[in-house]
Amino acid sequence: MKHRPAWRAGITAALLGMASTALALDTATIAASALSPDCLEYRVVGICYWLRCSKSGCSVRTSVKVRHYVPDAVVSSYANTGENPWVEVRAMGMPNPTAVAGGDGTTNQSNENNLSRFKNADVIGHPGGSLFGRFASASGYSCEGAGTAFMPYLISTLDTVAWRYNVPEAVYPEALIPGMREIGARTTLNLWGAVYPRGGFLHQTDDHKSGAVVAQRAGDVVTRRGQPHVYQPMLSTPRAGYWPAGALIEGNASTGKWQELTPALSPTCAVFPHSNTRVQAARGDYAWALWRPYSCCQRRGQVFLGSVDFNGGGLRP
């Protein structure tokens, strides 16, 4: 693995600094945010074996197996329908006859403490693909992610029955039994919310945590197949020398991690819950880049024989 040159680290810091001063979340800002060594987390993890045959005979060749994270999607979680904080894609989630209003519940009393909140959620392919590809390749061989730039994987205004009425997930065991599929835990006094039902309503006094829980729910849906939602799965198919990311699991960085884009752009990634400083958005709109882990190795022959990981794992098919 190559060492990251000082000049490239400087450019990365400058781009992230420029992006953090943007007044609105736009495509250029999001693309620049992908230049994050912390989120990339590039590692050489093993060796792949290939059988290469020619007229003169067959031989076994090797290639390096690498693992790193890829920014697959931008997940927006916002209160006001039609006001996705990513301005260029806002038109994808405009109100329609089945999904008009948004925002929090209210009793119109000055002393209220109404905990009911609602967030729309959009999962759209990360736009920084080509820029990120050059950035990742500077460390060595890089892996392809599952996300396609600007592809809408989930638009909550088109998922009305599931997103606004919690049908059918309101009666799932995960939604009814405390402690199942939760972000944080009651025992540690750091419970952000439950993953189920995977819709836009939840009870949480902290608006930033509400946005994060809804983003986790949306990411949970799109990284699985056959869910009772209107969406497009964001998954790649495994192949010889390529191990794509699977289902996103809350609190588990080995399945995916989050980079905050707005209201405060972060150069690092984390999982929910975390202890990082949380900035409350004035209009209840948040967005994160969802980074997911991929492993791959360069093809060196016609037949893939398997791989060996440096952590003591055996030969993998």
Task: Look up residue 189 and give its DSSP letter.
Answer: T
User: What pLDDT sits at residue 18?
Assistant: 44
Residue 309 neighbours by CB distance under 10 Å: 15
User: What pLDDT sits at residue 21?
Assistant: 41
**Residue-by-residue DSSP string for 59-82:** EEEEEEEEEEEEEEEEEEEESSTT
Helix residue ranges, H only, 138-260: 160-165, 173-176, 207-222
Amino acid identity of residue 292, one-letter, is R
Distance between CA atoms of residues 151 and 232, nearest Å:
9
User: What pLDDT sits at residue 20?
Assistant: 42
Cα-flanking dihedrals φ and ψ of residue 42, to 5°?
A: -75, 130
Distance between CA atoms of residues 146 and 33, nearest Å:
18
Mean pLDDT split into 10-residue runs, the chain, 317 residues? 43 46 79 97 96 94 97 97 96 94 61 74 95 92 96 98 97 95 90 97 94 98 98 97 98 97 97 92 95 97 95 57
3-class SS shares of the chain: helix, strand, coil, % to 5:
25, 30, 50
User: What pLDDT sits at residue 112?
Assistant: 52
Cα-flanking dihedrals φ and ψ of residue 280, to 5°?
A: -80, 130
